Structure 1
Amino acid sequence: MPGALKQWPTWPEFTKDKGEAEKEFAQYKKDIAEQYGEAALRQSWVKVCKKLESLTDEIAEKGTSMIPVIPFDEIKDLSPEKRAELQSVGCFVVRGVVDRPTADEWFQNAKTYVADNRSSITGWPAETPFVLKLYWSPTQLAARTHPNHLALQRELNSWWHDASNSTSPDPLSYADGIRIRPPKVSFYGLGPHIDAGSLTRWVDPAYRKVYHKIWEGKPEEHDAYDLELRKDADQAIFGGSAHSSVFRAYQGWTALTESGPQEGSLLLYPDVQTVIAYLLLRPFFQPPKDEAEIMDATKWTFDVSDTWFPGTWRDDSQMLSPSSHPHLRLQECMVNIPRMYPGDTVWWHCDMCHAVEVEHHGQHDSSVVYVAATPTTPTNALYMKAQLHDFLAGRAPEDFKRSGSDESGYKGFLGEKSILSGEEGRRAMGFGLTV
């Protein structure tokens, strides 16, 4: 089982007795069932669970090798077949986006910035903060606006399609945090989850429409790259600090240090279409009483009266666990990403299940900058206009306002001087946007 977890961490199991289940939750299920019909939902459920039988066997057998690796120099010259493969898996490593000396320098600069301002910096977890509430350090701005990075983001954004022509693959620079994780410190805070909202996938009409083929009984026809539908989905309808207001086509890490399995690295479930379909259908079905029949989808009972959405809280990311989502075989299918080196990047589709390793048994810090591929959409542009004002003032951006961060007085804060790539970098930061 190469690349799979040898021992499942003590991440929480999402059982009904611990769930959030308000009275109105059942109505969300009833609305979908009324629109699409029980027969279509049941048809999708059986199809998806059948598909998972072979998919999970393949992932368990291949492990990390399921995650493609591409040199940066080749990303623009992919054959249509290779691009389709990457889109289907939904995650991949792009090596050498930034040369190693530059990445090494960025890491040293980040450590200096943190050391010089340590008394003012907070992070997560509170007791041993290493996911740092920093957004405007020179390292982060350089990573987001490096010319190679912007070119890569534009390429990844272009893999989505929009017949309305109201969007563009031109990258916008969404500000997120930075991680400098020391070795030998356990971290249980990021078990298997999917970002870009949780309950809102079932509630918001525009978001629900993104998955219409799944609701119609045709999960194999679900298009995970339809930006025309996705651009209007409200990911943050319920608020909460876990929900990004911005649509990120791909989430991503840019490595500042070397890191491999068992060194606080990333775990991915290398599939987009089937896993998200299973997640969406799971709340409509109740398991059989006989545990021996759990993996037989035909034995599950259709039920829209139950208020529970497994692993779902309105103000948090979508969570998954072996007991709440058994057909995913998470212990066998959450696989390590390949070893990363300074300047490498890893990308995963916004609907992808991912997690962060609990243990870091390495000898050195494991550091990454969170840089996403964020296309230009009307909603994203509005956010970026507001983010630009926060940047110029040194304040935390809107999605992270709760952090209370103010870097304007930090030693080493350079503001606009940290932006690379000239006018292209400035456009990505929001300068010149018309909305």
Structure 2
Amino acid sequence: MAVYRCEVKTLNRASGRSAVAAAAYRAAERLRDEQANEGKGKVHDYRRRTPGVMHREVVAPKGAATWATQRGQLWNQAERAENRRNSVTAREVLVSLPHELDDAQRAELVQAFALGLVDRYGVAVDLAIHRPDRKGDDRNHHAHLLMTTRRIGPEGFTEKTRELDDMKNRGPVEIEAIREMWEREQNRALQRAGIVERVSRLSNEARGIDREPQPKLGETATALMRRGEPSRLADRWQQVVKGNAKPGRAPSPMRQNMARQAEQRRKERETRLAQAHQPGGAVQRALQAAQQVRPPAPQGPTHIAEALMRSTSEAQQGEQDKQQALKDEARKLDEQRAKAGELEAARAWERQRQAELRRKRIEREQAQQNEQDPGRQRTLPGPKKKPD
């Protein structure tokens, strides 16, 4: 079963990460980081990982500098272009690949996605397709795409891709655009391969699917689960998988409410359409209005078709307005829930803080009493004497 996964991350120099080291690791190559160790350099050799890399390639914009497709030069130039200690030197996109495709089809899919990123942002993209781990799930085909944080032209790097750095406004929009791009390219690849399944970037709740989302395990929990070692996150993951597999699983109250609302909107839409075609409805009113405005016009099929098109357009616009209002209302409800959660967390933290203050006050009072009456601290009850 094809799955959707598209994560966008950053490589920050402040956390001790290097774009050269990341590129060497993902491509299973030997690269020298010229900027490391205060300019003395450091070699990153990951050639032992070569069997796990199915395909590696650097894609750059047309007319870019000649060194833009040379992995070592590209990332050393990227490190050299940033002067701040907390600079973001690379951006990574991690995607899961359909195991139903063969190696050539997966390579074509990732190349198409990389070209889309290059065309949209004018950056260089270093892609590496990894095979599944020998000790893990044999369906875990995935790819790492390292993007430069600056656009690149004939003379080298130019301005930063600020639209991706602006996490308050444009950033989330661009991230969603990248996720949508990957959804589109993956579904195209599945269609070309004759596979019926499709993937979606939307959540189960947004698609109306009554299935609890599986928690993300991460590298540590996955490794523990493979070794058979206990992990609360792995136990929770298995619990969710088993719960979703139950045929008689009852929908949650929230999903039941969503289903009722969707059914109610469907009935209202059908009612409006039926009323529009009744005498005195929107369609009939549109025909009468057209006759009053242009009485000399011929009452032929063309005239009626135009009136029907106008009325249909009005009905569609009204439906779109209503859907937008429902989305706005849902968004406000989500914001209220988030604020309520934040308020409850703040209250819990305040209660914990007050309890800690009370505990310290009691300890301080006891210490003061012991200082005022030292004998109290040393006086302890002795053993009871046995009766004669």
Q: TM-score if structure 2 supplies the norm length?
A: 0.26
Higher relative contact order (CA closer than 8 Å, sequence separation 6+): 1
- Structure with the higher helix share, 1 or 2: 2
User: Which has the greater radius of gyration?
Assistant: 2
